[in-house]
Amino acid sequence: MSKSSYINVTSLIALADTTTTAEVKKEFNLDLVAPDIKEALIEIKAEEKKAAARAAAKEIYSLLEIAQAIKVEQVQKIRAARNQVDASKANLDAIAAAEKYASETNNYLPLCKALSLPIFGAPSGLCSIPEKAASKATRK
């Protein structure tokens, strides 16, 4: 169900109508009508209300489907945003560690790698922070 689905609010408005039997009697001045016709008019109004409730139920079902789809979409967006935040934090940590390592060793190749810059011709061993140095660089 898409967000742009059509919802017939007329049936929802009809559902909200709380006309009572007393109001029907008042509306039609049923005191002037024969008892069997009175009963029939009240039944007709009750049937109309039941039909309106059914129509509204279909629209409510559609509304609930749309709401569920939008909630799922929003949860997915939140998860994606959290994953992006986590990835950004990891990138910042890697850059900070590479900067610290560079300041201590004058080896800026790991910083190039952390910044996703191309490194041509450098031995791969010089492009990474050694495990021992990495644990020191990430300590606070």
> DSSP string spanning the chain?
--TT----HHHHHHHH----HHHHHHHHTGGGS-HHHHHHHHHHHHHHHHHHHHHHHHHHHHHHHHHHHHHHHHHHHHHHHHHHHHHHHHHHHHHHHHHHHHHHHS--HHHHHHTT----S--GGGSS--HHHHHHHT--
How many domains would you assign to the chain?
A: 1
In a domain, residue 43? The reply is: yes
Question: Over its length of 140 residues, how does the chain's per-residue pLDDT go in tens digits?
Answer: 455 567 777 777 766 766 655 666 666 666 777 888 888 888 888 898 888 888 888 999 999 999 999 999 999 999 999 999 999 999 999 999 999 999 999 999 999 999 999 888 888 788 889 887 666 655 54
In a domain, residue 114? The reply is: yes
In a domain, residue 4? The reply is: no
| pTM (whole model) above 0.75 | no
**Structural domain boundaries, residue 63:** 9-137
